[in-house]
Structure 1
Amino acid sequence: MKKTIFSLLLLTATFFSYGQKELSSDYSYAVSEPYQVYDSPKKYYFSDGNQILSIKPWKKSVVLQKFDVGTLNLISAKEYEDFPDNYVVEGMKQLQDKYYLFYSSWSGKQTEHEQLFYREINFGTGEFMGEAVKLIDIDGRLAGTFASTAGVSVPFAFGFGVTDKFDFLTSLDESKILVQYRRKPEVKNDKESYDIIGTEVFDKSLNKLWSNEYTMPYTERRMDVEDLAVDSGGNGYILAKVFHDDSNKDKKKRKDEEANYHMELFRLSKGSSEIEKTKIDLGDKFINGISLFESYEGYMICSGFYTNGLNNELHNADGLYTFKITKEGKLVDEKSYEIPLEVLNQYVKNRTKKRNERKDEDGKAEFEHMKLRNLVISDDGSLLLIGEQTFLVVHRTPKRTYVTYHNNDILVSKIDASGNLAWMRKIPKRQIGQPKMGEVYDTSKTYKGGMSYSYFNANGNHYIVFLDNVKNIDLELDQIPALHSDGNGGYLTSYKINDSTGSFSKGSILDTREVTDKMEVYQFSNNRIVKTAEDQFVLEVYKKQKEDVLIKVDIK
């Protein structure tokens, strides 16, 4: 059942807005009229440049909203209540000009079938196109994440249930989508159980191209999946960390001279029930994180961070690496790039600088808790890698135990088309947050809330945008940034990095506590930002009184 809540004709000559402001000469912003808020643990945003489509699932309904980018006017809002009682939203994907909402539904104990459905959305009308279509029907239970909104939860766990049962991966050209699932193990002992992974590949119209189930070559105890990918030919890939024994996985002992694991690439292809395996070996460098990306040239690119030897912590980074994987599964063009001491010593305490200098003499200086977040492949073959310092801290007191999540400095590195390091820049950031009771965090189990960052590129520049403490507006290179506490206001800040030279500048876009003279906004999240043009993005925020607003930011 569909309920049309609001609909209007675009007023092309009139712009209703709270006004336009400018804190920096590089940015200006405009704010829309407020409109009715719709609660949803996870919200999706898409834009064709002229309009914005938002999808907001919640409990027994899904709301589709359309907005005009030019005026920021709400065009329409439609609520659909024809979803099954036990539906669980699994994801939302764009495949070229098509938009699909995926949800799962468990058939019950009598039949025990896990079913995946999709509903296509017409972007132009902002409506679902017809009824739900069953895409996958599996006899038996799938592994997932048990969750409850009564406490710390995961996306779309409305009440009690299992979510995150399906992974959705799209090719670089958005012509293929791979849906992957894992059967619930029959043997509870992970030293004896082998995962069974299901892989189904579809074209952009969701016509099935091929499917298969694979029994993994190692036990659950001996293998961790690091990343998944699909190429434009419809081949699936799994990057796995493979452990050498059943001990404490990648924990190392002081006397260990080599890591207790190595990396392998599994290739899954149509017409073959066998897994093609390729061992990934970086010599004396130990991989502490790895991600897989498809390039425009048709090969896959692996990238991540490494540590030098076992004298250093395996979750830290001495440098970054890249290599290519040919269609035949061979590793070529292996490159590594050490993080310079002068980069490590930016925005840190003097005692940290001295410690890094002592460690550097033995080749042990490193960037702590670094994780690869983005890899951007340019048309000229150059790469931009963005890593973020992220970790959690467990606090124990006599009365309670709690966890704080930290998203700190950002490392941005450019590798030119010849494979040389063009430049490397450290962006200072200190963010701390703690999920509230019932608050949703992402499936990486790292709470983000309003923390972390968004990335854009425009007019030959790269932009890193995040919420920061107002005290950091005039931060100097030798100063340590003040801590930003998630949920306590903040300035939306942008670092502009020139692609050719790596030179950067900083600008403040807006103050969330005074977006207009009479308006403070809340519930900022990088997941609620959508790029609408080469030099423009729009974010949705809450203004209280059960109303949201859109903020359009223009990059000059």
Structure 2
Amino acid sequence: MKLINQYDFQMKHPISQKTPIVLSVFKLENKIQIIEMFFDINEKSYICIANSISVEDFVLEKKELFRFTREEIKILGSISLIQNYYQNSNLKSLINGSFGPPEESPFFSFDFSFSGNSEKNSSTDGNSKIALIVNKEKSTFAIALNFSRKGDEPKLKMYLFDKLLNKIIDKDFNKDTNDRKCFLQNIDISEDGNALYLLSKSYSKEMNDKETGGKYQFEMTKFTQDKVESQIFDTKEHYIGSLKTIIKDEKLICIGFYSDEYDKRYKGVSYFELNPSSLAVNKSKFNPFSEQFILDKYGKINNKELKYLTFKNLLTTDNNELIFNAEESYVTQTAGFYNPYSGYSGGETFYNYDDVVSVKINEEGNLLWSRNINKRQTGGEIDPYVSYTSTLINNKVYFFINASEKIKDLENNRIEFRNTRKNKYNLNVIRINQNGDFDYQEILDDEENEVPFMVSNGIKSGNSVFFLGRKGTKKQLLKVSL
């Protein structure tokens, strides 16, 4: 934990560079890359640059990745850097390839429609968005920009860069105007680093006549230097709010939660396996939550479906099994009232971070186990001290959460982790073994902590997890070895 070296990099811009935003910060080989974008009023262009900082001697190099002149913007459409800055700050990190929260997310009110035919697309830049992802090998990264055009279908620009910041792919893509509405889900990079995958969810005119299940379809689009090809797959009689893409061992997998009622309820886990070369759908499966999961959640078997699940992260075991983690997140508000002396007083807004959901899927897409960890927390819209960090070490799943000292006992031998005052947090770890059995222990109580730790921003390194703690001006770094 000894500090080896440090370097302060100040993001300074001349007055001609307006609305600068940082798209992401990541490492490629021995350089830290700070990717930013701004509008230059002298150049009359949107410009994206990479600030490359050597980790050995902190030498800074700048390189322009791409730009859009005012004339090109008239053709492409508009893009709002301010909107994307706010979107990225809400999501904490844009590096996961997501275009933003799914349209059913309870914490966000943006319209991420990708369609010129939507009434909500009346704003010239309200639907613009940017996504960025770095591959696992840290050898390539991709940037996708969705330009919005009033009264016309938006245009998507796709870029892929290698570790030397050379441009591998530069593609334009227009969505078919047959789609009434389309939500971009995420982008990903092929294992060889030579192709891009775009996942979207579209509400086409044909799907509107569907009798059962969601009236939409998912579409996977593959971009290479030479061509663009797509594959459509639907949800059958089920409903799926959103899917997450993962590329593993020559498999292109889309995984998410499904329902038999509507998009904002969840009955189990959906699994689609596509051929990464041809995009043919090899498998599609719908696994209902296990009886153990229902007992965890409700203390008895019933037919209720869950609400408000928000995807958190996807982990892969040594046996290529998938661990899919989520959290029950939603917003509640208290009613306002009228005071004859002071006027109208608005109600309070509460951001709830409740139960943790963890699911394990094998290579064939079958459910091995699913568990629900009862938790009740409230915090701010962006609150690093609540929610959790999860990681996988030696094929065991670990969750780190802050909670009150007393763990609440529920009926039928169940427990519940509950919220407490910010500076009275006790740090707990929950462990789920390979068979789905879990236990927990407190690893730090508030009397041992000089500061509360930002439990949702943990970073894994080897077999350890690091957390930053802060109370006023006092800061600490915590290392937990597993």
Instruction: Tell me if the contact between 2:184 and 2:200 (Cα under 8 Å) persists in the aligned partners.
Output: yes
1:224 to partner: Cα distance: 1.0
Flag the structure with higher helix content.
Answer: 2
Shift of residue 485, structure 1, vs aligned partner:
5.3
Q: Which amino acid aligns with 2:265?
A: N
Which of residues 332, 342, 348 is equivalent to 1:393? 332
Instruction: Report the CA distance shift for 1:508/1:193 in structure 2 as closer, same or farther (over 3 A).
Output: farther
Matched, 1:276 2:229: yes
Give the 3-state SS of the residue equivalent to 1:76 in structure 2: coil
Residue by residue over 1:437-474, the C-alpha shift from the partner in whole angstroms, topping out at 9 and shown as x without a partner, is xxxx4xxxxxx432221112223321111222222277
Identity value in percent:
19
Higher relative contact order (CA 8 A, sep 6+): 1
Aligned to 1:211: 170
Shift of residue 264, structure 1, vs aligned partner: 1.6
Counterpart-to-counterpart distance in 1, 2:224 and 2:64: 24
Tell me if the contact between 1:194 and 1:220 (Cα under 8 Å) persists in the aligned partners.
no
The answer to which of 370-379 and 482-491 deviates more is 482-491
Structure 1: which amino acid aligns with 2:285?
A: K
Partner of 1:242: 202
Partner of 2:456: 526
In the superposition, the TM-score normalised over structure 2's length comes to: 0.79
- CA displacement at 1:162 relative to structure 2: 11
- Mean Cα deviation higher: 404-413 or 91-100: 91-100
C-alpha deviation, 1:268, in angstroms: 2.0
- Who is 1:89 aligned against? 22
1:378-527 correspondence runs (5 A): 378-398=317-337, 399-435=345-381, 441=382, 448-472=383-407, 478-479=413-414, 481=416, 483-484=418-419, 487=422, 489-499=424-434, 501-511=435-445, 513-516=446-449, 519=450, 521-522=451-452, 524-527=454-457
Alpha carbons of structure 1 residues 283 and 82: separation in structure 2 relative to 1, 3 Å: closer
Task: Find out whether 1:305 has 2:257 as its counterpart.
Answer: yes
Change in CA separation of 1:153 and 1:418 when aligned onto 2, cut-off 3 Å? closer
Deviation at 1:221, TM superposition (A): 5.3
- Structure 1, residues 265-315: CA drift from partner, whole Å, max 9, x if none? 22222122xx422111232122122111111x222111001112xxx2321
Give, in whole Å, the separation in 2 of the partners of 1:124 and 1:491: 38
| Corresponding residue for residue 80 of structure 2 | 144
Write the distance in 1 (CA, Å) between the matches of 2:335 and 2:29: 49
For residues 35-50 of structure 1, the aligned pairs below 5 Å read none
Letter in 1 for 2:289: I
8 Å CA contact 1:229–1:237 kept in 2: the answer is yes
Determine helix, strand or coil for the equivalent of 2:279. coil
Instruction: Kindly provide the amino acid, as one letter, of the partner of residue 36 in structure 2.
Output: Y
Question: How do 1:110-125 and structure 2 match up within 5 A?
Answer: 111-125=43-57
Q: 1:176 to 1:385 in 2, by over 3 A?
A: same
Q: Is the 8 A contact 1:462 1:497 kept in 2?
A: yes
User: Deviations for 1:8-44, whole angstroms, at most 9, x for unmatched residues?
Assistant: xxxxxxxxxxxxxxxxxxxxxxxxxxxxxxxxxxxxx
Question: Which residue of 2 is the match for residue 42 of structure 1?
Answer: none
The 3-state SS of whatever aligns with 1:396 is coil
The answer on whether the counterparts of 2:317 and 2:392 sit within 8 Å (CA) in structure 1 is no
For 1:99 and 1:374, locate their aligned partners in 2 and report how far apart those are by CA, in whole Å.
24
The offset of 1:403, in angstroms, is: 2.7
Residue aligned with 1:343, SS: helix
Q: State the match for 1:337 in structure 2.
A: 287
Which AA in structure 1 matches 2:252?
M
SS at match of 1:481: strand
Per-residue deviation, 1:407? 1.7
> Who is 2:117 aligned against?
none
Q: Deviations over 1:153-185 (max 9, x none)?
A: 7589xxxx99995321122333221111122x3
Shift of 1:413: 1.7
Whether 1:174 aligns to 2:143 is no
Number of the residue aligned with 2:65: 135
Once residues 331 and 148 of structure 1 are traced to their aligned partners in structure 2, the CA distance between those partners, rounded to angstroms, is 33
CA distance in 1, matches of 2:155, 2:170: 13
Question: Residue 290 of structure 1 corresponds to which residue in structure 2?
Answer: 243
CA, structure 1 residues 163+542, in 2 after alignment: closer, same or farther (shift >3 Å)? farther
- Provide the rounded CA distance (Å) in 1 between the counterparts of 2:32 and 2:127: 21
Q: Deviations over 1:303-352 (max 9, x none)?
A: 001112xxx2321111102121111011112222111344224244x7xx
3-state SS, counterpart of residue 260 of structure 1: coil
> In the aligned structure 1, how far is the partner of 2:413 from the partner of 2:176?
50
TM-score, with structure 1 as normaliser: 0.70
Displacement of 1:256 after TM fit?
7.1
CA deviation map 1:65-92 (0-9, x unaligned): xxxx3x4x47434343544454322211
Deviations 1:359-383, CA, capped at 9 Å, x for gaps? x3xxxx3122223322222342222
Question: For the residues of structure 1 that align with 2:219 and 2:421, how far apart are their CA atoms?
Answer: 38
CA–CA separation in structure 1 for the residues paired with 2:428 and 2:233: 39
2:21 & 2:362 partners in 1: Cα distance? 43
Aligned-pair Cα RMSD in Å = 3.4
Unaligned runs of 5+ in 1: 1-68, 436-440, 442-447
Whether the 8 Å CA contact 1:98–1:121 is kept in 2: the answer is yes
Q: How many residues align?
A: 431
> What residue in structure 2 maps to residue 186 of structure 1?
149
Unaligned regions of 5+ residues in structure 2, if any? 93-124, 338-344
For residues 165 and 337 of structure 1, do their structure 2 counterparts lie closer, same or farther at Cα, with a shift above 3 Å needed? closer
The yes-or-no answer on 1:263 pairing with 2:218 is yes
| Residue 479 of structure 2: aligned partner | 552
Question: 1:47-86 alignment to 2 at 5 Å?
Answer: 69=1, 71=2, 73=3, 75-80=5-10, 82-84=12-14, 86=18
Query: Which amino acid is the alignment partner of residue 257 of structure 2?
Result: F
Moved more, 485-494 or 448-457: 485-494
Are 2:264 and 1:315 aligned? yes
